[in-house]
Amino acid sequence: MNDEHFVYSLEELGSLTKTANGEVLTIITQKRERPHPATYIGKGKVDEVLNVVEELEPDIVIFNDELSPSQLRNLSTILNVRIIDRTQLILDIFAQRAKSKEGKLQVELAQLQYLLPRLVGQGISLSRQGGGIGTRGPGETQLETDRRHIRNRINEIKQQLSSVVRHRNRYRERRQKNQAFQLALVGYTNAGKSTIFNRLTTAGSFEEDLLFATLDPMTRKVLLPSSYQALITDTVGFIQDLPTTLVAAFRSTLEEVKEANLILHIVDSSNEDYANHEQTVYKLLDQLDVSEIPILTVYNKKDLTPASFVPSPMEDYVSISAFSEEDLEKLMKKVEELAKGGMNHYAVEIPANEGRVLSQLKSETLITSFHFSEEDEMYNVEGYVLPSHSINGQLEMYNGEGQEHV
């Protein structure tokens, strides 16, 4: 980690602490070639931290990395204060923010997977639902009982999660049958995804200047300039150095991204570390295997962007402020333009008595021209339709020549 990246990472840890309702009293850093295997920091630095702990009497000391079980145990013993690492802090925020059943289960699963190897010598005692006689095997220690309890709970959660995911898949299939154009908002945490989502849909998704403000995917309807109705999904924010257990646990909350026709990658262009944020998002998108889906980069907070800002070299991007109506209109025009690129163009003549077909065209396709000819009592309709939409067959009947793939 270079010095600049280290500074940004520490600032982010401060933001995470604020999000978890904590207050930063002081920051202590050390430059080492490699972490100390027993205490992560060197012996002299441990003594320095001990002096600060005795002076300031903090409730907690947070390390900006994932500590091994032995490092956590040794530091807790020496410093005689509660020690947590970056992973535990993120888990704590996730636990506060998760609202849906799936979100809560995912958080608990990640917490238990993190806790399991760290039980040794922690003196952690877990309450068991059974309790009392008959809950332990012959000669089983408290530690073994706790481990068994955690493993059982992990299995229970995995079963419940598969049921919740199946339920959401049914909703997703229903949406696909409705043949709607789907947008997914992705981006680094606190980039402004929920603000943009709210401005476009007036949905009231939780919106605050905090990291991980959104944890559960939310889907709402949004109107493009032509009045074509699309679906837009807000997703959990990405973060660099996300622990492996969390990437695995929260991948299912990002499954919605795989169903999108267009990904809107929201980047906070006012953040000095925006380039690293972009790379973090791209790495996670690669892991999700969504490279075939077109991406539009949306540089948000343009009113706060420094003069030194340079957009990353890419084909499609737009700079906006989420609070500017004009900018949001510009964004949706760009979205509509890209949507057309992935749809079939059609130009058909529909008889005036075909009300059902006309209604379906209005509600399920992107219409660019709609005129009634009194002379032959026909509607001349031109527009774009998703290639997979069932109405494509009917359109060919009305005008086989009028359809082409753009």
Residue ranges for the known binding site for Mg(2+) are 194, 214
- Which are the contacts of 270, defined by CB distance < 8 A and separation ≥ 6? 301, 304, 305, 306
- Which are the contacts of 287, defined by CB distance < 8 A and separation ≥ 6? 247, 251
Known binding site for GTP: residues? 187-194, 212-216, 234-237, 300-303
Known binding site: residues? 187-194, 212-216, 234-237, 300-303
State which amino acid sits at residue 95.
Answer: A
Q: 76: closest CA among 91, 58, 61, 92?
A: 61
The tokens for 285 are: 């998108």
